[in-house]
């Protein structure tokens, strides 16, 4: 084998490597696009579920309160929360309503901790 043959073989190897790298990049991009599309579909499902929950709670006079790390947060149903607060004679905040409800039933208080 002469030096020209070696140079030609090295050039052919470099071309093959470049083609392989390009094909690998295309495969990675397709896989990424598929994962991204799946995540976007899941996000849309979660958003529509969240909107449906909010609409149903407002339509049926419910207040949806999320309790995380000892703090209450109103998710939906402001009017219902205000009505509950008025009946319980407390401030119309999620924390005050939850505290008033748990004060009346120690079993509920234990579940929320």
73-108 pLDDT, tens digit each? 888 888 888 888 888 889 989 988 888 888 877 787
Please report, for the chain, the start and end positions of each structural domain, with discontinuous segments joined by +.
1-60, 61-113
Name the residue with higher pLDDT: 84 or 18. Answer: 18
Half-sphere exposure in the Cβ direction for 34 (13 Å, CA): 6
What does the alpha-carbon distance between residue 111 and residue 106 come to, in Å, rounded to a whole number?
9
Burial of 77 (0-12, 13-18, 19+ CB in 10 A): buried
What does the alpha-carbon distance between residue 15 and residue 20 come to, in Å, rounded to a whole number?
9
pLDDT at 56 over 70: no
Mean pLDDT across 108-113: 72
């Amino acid at each position: 084998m002469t030096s020209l043959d070696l140079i030609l073989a090295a050039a052919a190897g470099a071309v093959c490597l470049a083609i392989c790298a390009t094909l690998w990049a295309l495969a990675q991009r397709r896989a990424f696009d598929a994962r991204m599309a799946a995540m976007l579909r899941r996000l849309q499902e979660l958003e529509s579920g969240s909107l449906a929950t909010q609409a149903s709670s407002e339509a049926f006079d419910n207040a949806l309160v999320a309790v995380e790390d000892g703090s209450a947060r109103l998710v939906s149903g402001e009017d219902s929360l205000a009505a509950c607060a008025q009946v319980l004679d407390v401030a119309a905040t999620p924390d005050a309503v939850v505290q008033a409800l748990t004060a009346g039933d120690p079993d509920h208080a234990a579940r929320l901790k």
